[in-house]
Structures are given as structure tokens and as C-alpha cells.
């Protein structure tokens, strides 16, 4: 009979052997995986080096030498023969007019890529940029070594940095058709329901929609620690250029870019002024004179109501919990997506960002639910076929009904995106008030303008006062310059050439607006906050000439004459202060076909808010050290610095 103890020992040994085999198998598997990873990394690095070194081949169509000159001679001979036949009145004369098509040939040209730092394995040149407080400072520093146009590899992404104003114009204006793409990052696809061009998304009441473009645009920019504040292009901002994107821009243009003489401009002014009345009433209830107060949530709610009233003809009470939560979520997203993330250039890090993306998705879903339930659903039930168009929402719903190519997805993306633009303006206003608290003389000069044009506070400031308040407008521009809001990066859609250097398809192109905004080459004392750098003086005759046949010229001239005390005796000699025109190196809204479509909304609403706050209050801070602005950043945290409001003593 077999000994049970011996059998147990044997059995135990067998179990131990199986465990050893399992551990060894896992070790071998890990070793194989590590080897494969190293091999893959080496292969990828050699590919990066190849892309870094290789020349760009571009096929061009060229006319054969001498063909153009021969065609000119033939055309001249034909013209002479025609004139001779006409002079002789010979109707039967036959003159050969047909000119052969120019003989063309294709030519393959090779261009070297722009110089730049040699990429490191895995990281590319990310480590170099990590040495600077913001990467665009690094871009500027590298330009001193490699020139105004240079290449840089971030992770595995080939990039081109453009620093010079002339080169920027060459990229965005002269060659804009080759740079109409946007970065093809994993996060963008996830944020747009799997397709950043948002053409295939199927809308559901609680499915994941894209974030609004205003914020997505910020998302890209601060992936490189930068933001471009104001491209209110709807879902256009991160989509590649296409006929669909052009249609969306055309649909939104009259609402988001109202001309001074349009009814939409008048509505914009009226909406802004009325909301400021309600804002002031709310502020009076909660503020303690002279005491620091967390004013940002209230400012964000006022901005949200301006956008909602202007675009949807509906506003919400400041105590509405759903509205307050929606505004907070918008602001949380706006701040979060203005932070830097490595995952866009190192996509293998995506699993480590899963929790963060889920958080953003939750905020976005709550925003979407509010818009659907409180705005869209109610409007669809009341919109009649024969009713005149009241606002942007009506225009979207009408286009959905009349244009088969417009889908419900399209209008939902656009409405959510454009409503989200209020976050950008709210953050801009907070930055402006922060700078005014740090520089009281700026606020005092704005208040002098306000008192002059409102006759001591007899009325509110409106949009039609902008020509008479140049220093206030200049302050907004200085905030934009000082925060150095960059231009949204572009992507080359085909192999092309810039300044004699080849650019490969898929290259991400950074427009270094930081250099334009902070360089001593363009600005005197660029580190000093000084709105007067945007001002100049002109005679009334010059101003009258510049206004020309503008629909509001008469009204603007009347306001300027009144506020500056101009009479027939001094109109030829008095110099009138105004905002400088056409500063070529100041591009806060970009240039080219993808310029910001909502820049009038930005300037208009921010002007109304800042002017009407300073008309009634002095803005200060009891602790200037807690007013923190972030370099090259146009966002401040949702729970940011406090400000002290005291009613003015006139």
C-alpha cells in the first residue's frame, strides 16, 4: 500500500514544479516583450531620423522654355493680321486666331527640410522645451540658433515652427490652401465622438458629444502649454478644411460677425447692456464694499446669459442650479483643456489619461443635457414654419428643415460650441480686471473715458461708444498681447514648400505668436503692461476719411466731436486719440481663411462688461500677490483670485 505521507510529498513537489514553470514562462514572456519593445523603439527612432534628414520631393508643372515667348509673338502677329484685314474691309479674309496650348512638362523638385534640433529617442525634442516655463519661450529661444523657420520633432510628430511675420503671412495667406488641416490627435477624435471632423456622429440624448470648439481649440493649444482664446469657429476649429466647414462658417457668419450697422449688432449691444443691469443688481446683493470677493462665477454667469440671450433668445436666473452647474462645468473644461498634456505627442500614454478624459466627458455630458432640455427641445416645439428668424438657434433649426445636407448632428455641435464661447470672454474679463487691480491708473483712465461719454454716468456704456473710448479698447488689446494668445496650429495637407524649405504632409505647423507679442523687435518695453501702445492721434479730417462710407460713420463722428469738444475753430488743429489701425504684427484672431469668425463677439461683449463694471465700481485687491496670471495663458482657474469692489465716489 502506498504511503499517504510519501504521496503528499510527491504531490507537493509536483505543484511546486508547475509553479516554477509558470513563473519561468511569465519571465520569458516579459523578456520577449521587452526585446520586442526595444526593437520597435529602435525602428521607430530610425524612421524619425529618416524623416528628419530626407528631402521633400514636390512635383510641379512647368512651361517649356521659349514657349511663352513664342506664344507672345504668335498673338502679336494674329492681332496685326486682324487689324490689316479690318482696315481693308475684307469680310472674307480669314485670319488664323487659334493659338496652340502651351507645352507643359512635369518637374520633380527636391527641397531640404528646415534645420532644427536632432530628435532624441521616444521624446523627440520635448525635453528641450521642458526647460522653459512655457514651450513657446523655447520656440523663441531655438529660433536664435536655427533661424525663423525650423523643424522640431515632438514625440514622434514632425513639426515646423514659424517665427517671422513675413513667413507667417506666407504660410497663412499665400499658402493657406496647403495648411488647412488640424492635428490628428487621439484626444480630438475621442472628444468628437470618434471623429474630430464630426461628420458621422449619431446624436443621442445622453450619448457623448464633442466638446465645444472654443474649448477644444484651447485644448490643442495648451497641449503645447498655449491657448488661442478666440476662435469661435464652432466645430470648425479642429476640423480639416472642407466644403462642409465652409458651409458651417457661412451659416454662422452674420450672427457671429455682425457688422456695425446690422440689426444683430444692435441686438448684441442691447443684450449686453440689459444683462449688465441684472449683473449689477446681483453684485450689489453679494458684495461687501472694499472686501475681497470671488467674483469669477458671477462674471461667467453673466457672459453665459449674454450668449444664451443673443443666440437662443433665452436667459436664466443667477440662482438657477442647473444653469449655475452648466456654467461651472464650462469653466472647469476651459481651464482643464488649457493645461499641457504629453499624450498628444506620445499616444502610448493614453491609458494613463483615461480617468481625466472620463472627467471631461462627464462635464460635457451634463452641459449637453442642459442645452438639450432647456433650450433646444423647447425651441423646436415652438418654432413655426412662417415665423421670422429671431436668432442663431432659429437659423440652425431652419437650415435643418430646408437643407438636406445639414443634419441634427451639425446644428447640435455648432450650438454647443458657440454657446461655449462665453468661457473665453469671461476669462478675458477676469484677466483684464486683474491687470486693472494691479495697475489702478489704467482703471482710472478708463473711468475718465466713461464719465466723459456718459456725462457723469447718466446712461450705460453701449457698443456704439467704442469709437469714443479708445483707451478701453486698447486695454482689451493689451490684455490679449500681454497674455500672448497664440494662433491655432495648422497641419500641412500635402507636401509643399515654404521659404525654400520642404514641408511634408502631416507636419504640424506652429505659428509663434508669442514671439510677435513679446519681442522688442515689434514693441517698446514689451514686458510692461501699457494699453497706450495701441493708441495714436489723428485730426478730425483723417478720422472722417478713414470712416468713409461706413453705415455708422455719421453716428461715430457725432460722438467723437461731442466727447472731444471739437468746434469749427479747432477741428483742423486738435488731435483726437484713437486706436491704432492695422498693426501688422498684432494677430490675436489669426489671418487667412481660418481667421476667427467670432472676433466681433469677443471685442463687443468684453467691452460692455469691463466698461459697465468700471462705470459703477472701483476694482482693487487687498492682496496683489494672490493675483496670479499664467505666462502665455488666457485662462485662470475656476477658483481664482479675489477682487475688491467699491462703489465709486463721484
Distances (CA, A) of 175 to 114, 228, 377, 498: 17, 21, 43, 8
Please state the φ and ψ torsions of residue 109, each to the nearest 5 degrees: -105, 145
Q: Give 646's strand partners.
A: 618
Whether residue 596 is annotated as binding a ligand: the answer is yes
**C-alpha to C-alpha distance for 487 and 510, rounded to whole angstroms:** 8
Provide the pairing of β-strand 643-647 with 157-162. Answer: unpaired
Grid cell listed for 354: 483615461
Grid cell listed for 603: 471685442
The H or E element containing residue 580 is none
- Which among 217, 146, 232 has a CA at the least distance from the CA of 187? 217
Which residues neighbour 344 within 8 Å (Cβ) at sequence distance 6 or greater? Answer: 157, 183, 185, 186, 187, 220, 223
- Strands of the 157-162 sheet, one edge to the other: 149-154, 157-162, 508-511, 490-491
Provide the pairing of β-strand 104-111 with 157-162. Answer: unpaired
**C-alpha to C-alpha distance for 503 and 113, rounded to whole angstroms:** 7
**C-alpha to C-alpha distance for 12 and 77, rounded to whole angstroms:** 108
Distances (CA, A) of 268 to 302, 423, 452: 14, 17, 23
Please state the φ and ψ torsions of residue 25, each to the nearest 5 degrees: -60, -45
- Any idea what DSSP says for residue 201? P
**C-alpha to C-alpha distance for 475 and 613, rounded to whole angstroms:** 14
CB distance 635 to 427 below 8 Å:
yes
- Which among 482, 596, 592, 516 has a CA at the least distance from the CA of 161? 516
CB distance 217 to 231 below 8 Å:
yes
As annotated, the binding site for heme includes: 596
Q: Which residues are annotated as a binding site?
A: 596
Amino acid at each position: 500500500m502506498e504511503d499517504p505521507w510519501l504521496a503528499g510529498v510527491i504531490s507537493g513537489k509536483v505543484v511546486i514544479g508547475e509553479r516554477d514553470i509558470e513563473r519561468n514562462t511569465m519571465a520569458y514572456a516579459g523578456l520577449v516583450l521587452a526585446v520586442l519593445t526595444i526593437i520597435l523603439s529602435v525602428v521607430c527612432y530610425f524612421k524619425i531620423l529618416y524623416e528628419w534628414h530626407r528631402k521633400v520631393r514636390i512635383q510641379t508643372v512647368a512651361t517649356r522654355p521659349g514657349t511663352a515667348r513664342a506664344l507672345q509673338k504668335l498673338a502679336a502677329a494674329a492681332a496685326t493680321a486682324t487689324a490689316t484685314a479690318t482696315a481693308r474691309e475684307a469680310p472674307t479674309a480669314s485670319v488664323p486666331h487659334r493659338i496652340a496650348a502651351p507645352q507643359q512638362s512635369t518637374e520633380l523638385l527636391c527641397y531640404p527640410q528646415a534645420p532644427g534640433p536632432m530628435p532624441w529617442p521616444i521624446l523627440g525634442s520635448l525635453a528641450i522645451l521642458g526647460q522653459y516655463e512655457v514651450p513657446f519661450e523655447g520656440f523663441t529661444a531655438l529660433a536664435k540658433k536655427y533661424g525663423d523657420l525650423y523643424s522640431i520633432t515632438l514625440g514622434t510628430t514632425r513639426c515646423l515652427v514659424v517665427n517671422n511675420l513675413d513667413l507667417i503671412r506666407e504660410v497663412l495667406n499665400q499658402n493657406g490652401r496647403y495648411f488647412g488641416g488640424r492635428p490628428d490627435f487621439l484626444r480630438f477624435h475621442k472628444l468628437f465622438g470618434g471623429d474630430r471632423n464630426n461628420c458621422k456622429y449619431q446624436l443621442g440624448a445622453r450619448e457623448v458629444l464633442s466638446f465645444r470648439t472654443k474649448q477644444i481649440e484651447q485644448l490643442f493649444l495648451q497641449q503645447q502649454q498655449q491657448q488661442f482664446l478666440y476662435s469661435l469657429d464652432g466645430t470648425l476649429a479642429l476640423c480639416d478644411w472642407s466644403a462642409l466647414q465652409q458651409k458651417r462658417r457661412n451659416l454662422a457668419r452674420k450672427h457671429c460677425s455682425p457688422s456695425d450697422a446690422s440689426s444683430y449688432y444692435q441686438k448684441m449691444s442691447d443684450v449686453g447692456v440689459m444683462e449688465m443691469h441684472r449683473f449689477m443688481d446681483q453684485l450689489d446683493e453679494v458684495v461687501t464694499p472694499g472686501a475681497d470677493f470671488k467674483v469669477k462665477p458671477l462674471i461667467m454667469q453673466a457672459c453665459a446669459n449674454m450668449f444664451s440671450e443673443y443666440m437662443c433668445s433665452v436667459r436664466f436666473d443667477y440662482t438657477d442650479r442647473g444653469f449655475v452647474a452648466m456654467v461651472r462645468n464650462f469653466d472647469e473644461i476651459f481651464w482643464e483643456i488649457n493645461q499641457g498634456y504629453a499624450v498628444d505627442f506620445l499616444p502610448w500614454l493614453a491609458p494613463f489619461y483615461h480617468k481625466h478624459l472620463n472627467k471631461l466627458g462627464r462635464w460635457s455630458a451634463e452641459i449637453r443635457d442642459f442645452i438639450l432640455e432647456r433650450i433646444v427641445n423647447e425651441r423646436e416645439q415652438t418654432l413655426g414654419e412662417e415665423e421670422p428668424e429671431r436668432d442663431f438657434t432659429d437659423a440652425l433649426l431652419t437650415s435643418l428643415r430646408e437643407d438636406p445636407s445639414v443634419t441634427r448632428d451639425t446644428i447640435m455641435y455648432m450650438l454647443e460650441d458657440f454657446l461655449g464661447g462665453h468661457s473665453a470672454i469671461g476669462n478675458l474679463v477676469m484677466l483684464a480686471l486683474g491687470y486693472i487691480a494691479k495697475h489702478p491708473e489704467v482703471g482710472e483712465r478708463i473711468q475718465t473715458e466713461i464719465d466723459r461719454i456718459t456725462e457723469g454716468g447718466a446712461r450705460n456704456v453701449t457698443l456704439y461708444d467704442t469709437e469714443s473710448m479708445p483707451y478701453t479698447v486698447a486695454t482689451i488689446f493689451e490684455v490679449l498681447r500681454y497674455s500672448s494668445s497664440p494662433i491655432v496650429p495648422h497641419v500641412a495637407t500635402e507636401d509643399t514648400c515654404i521659404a525654400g524649405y520642404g514641408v511634408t504632409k502631416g507636419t504640424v505647423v506652429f505659428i509663434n505668436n508669442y514671439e510677435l507679442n513679446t519681442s522688442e523687435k515689434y514693441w517698446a518695453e514689451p514686458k510692461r503692461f501699457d494699453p497706450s501702445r495701441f493708441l495714436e492721434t489723428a485730426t478730425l479730417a483723417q478720422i472722417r476719411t478713414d470712416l468713409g462710407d461706413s453705415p455708422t460713420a455719421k453716428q461715430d463722428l457725432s460722438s467723437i466731436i461731442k466727447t472731444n469738444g471739437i468746434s469749427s475753430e479747432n477741428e483742423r488743429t486738435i488731435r483726437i486719440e484713437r486706436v491704432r489701425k492695422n498693426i501688422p504684427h498684432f494677430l490675436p484672431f489669426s489671418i487667412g481663411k481660418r481667421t476667427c469668425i467670432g472676433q466681433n463677439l469677443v471685442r463687443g461683449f468684453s467691452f460692455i462688461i469691463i466698461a459697465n463694471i468700471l462705470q459703477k465700481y472701483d476694482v482693487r485687491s487687498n492682496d496683489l500677490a494672490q493675483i496670479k496670471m499664467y505666462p502665455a495663458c488666457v485662462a485662470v482657474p475656476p477658483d481664482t483670485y479675489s477682487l475688491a469692489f467699491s462703489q465709486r465716489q463721484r
